[in-house]
């Protein structure tokens, strides 16, 4: 395969990935499937969509199968990456401070001003 074929395979895989992701979601909603089988289901759906994509491209069957396989595995990976990313994100004010601190180094001075401007909470002691 030359570079043009590889470029075409990746371009077709990029387009097919959206449809494979929708197919995986459809299967997950309609059928009770174990989560460890989703990459295999994505792979098979990608192969099927790659075969069906013959009117839209002039690639031969092997290149379309490669595109479908790449699309199936990448669709599963994209979904898992997005799901795990949202699931693992910490919540609350501390995460926001940490993110802004990493984003720009000058944030520390602004944070000091912001925190010092917050109203002080006074708690009554419960111990008499």
Average pLDDT over residues 4-23: 90
Average pLDDT over residues 95-115: 55
Q: What pTM was estimated for this model as a whole? A: 0.60
CB 24 within 8 Å of CB 77: no
- Residues 6 or more apart in contact with residue 42 via CB below 8 angstroms: 20, 23, 24, 72, 73, 75, 76
Instruction: Determine the Cα–Cα distance for residues 122 and 31; give it in Å rounded to an integer.
Output: 55
Average pLDDT over residues 1-26: 87
Phi, psi of 10 (to 5 degrees): -70, -35
Q: Which of 48, 59, 1 is nearest to 20 (CA)?
A: 48
Query: What residue segments make up the domains of the chain, in order of their start?
Result: 3-88, 90-119
Phi, psi of 6 (to 5 degrees): -65, -40
Average pLDDT over residues 113-126: 56
Instruction: Determine the Cα–Cα distance for residues 16 and 119; give it in Å rounded to an integer.
Output: 53
Helix or strand or coil: residue 49? helix
CB 45 within 8 Å of CB 20: yes
Average pLDDT over residues 62-79: 87
Position 57 scores a pLDDT of 86
5 — pLDDT class (breaks 50, 70, 90): confident
CB 64 within 8 Å of CB 54: yes
Average pLDDT over residues 100-122: 55
């Amino acid at each position: 395969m030359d570079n043009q074929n590889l470029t075409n395979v990746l371009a077709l895989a990029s387009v097919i990935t959206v449809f494979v992701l929708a197919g995986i979601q459809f299967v997950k909603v309609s059928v009770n499937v174990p989560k460890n089988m989703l990459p295999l289901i994505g792979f098979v759906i990608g192969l099927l969509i790659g075969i069906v994509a013959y009117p839209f491209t002039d690639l031969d069957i092997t290149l379309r199968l490669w595109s479908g396989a790449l699309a199936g595995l990448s669709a599963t990976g994209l979904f898992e990456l997005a799901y795990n990313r949202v699931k693992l994100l910490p919540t609350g004010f501390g995460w926001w401070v940490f993110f802004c601190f990493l984003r720009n180094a000058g944030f520390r001075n602004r944070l000091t001003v912001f925190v010092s401007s917050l109203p002080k909470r006074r708690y009554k002691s419960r111990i008499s």
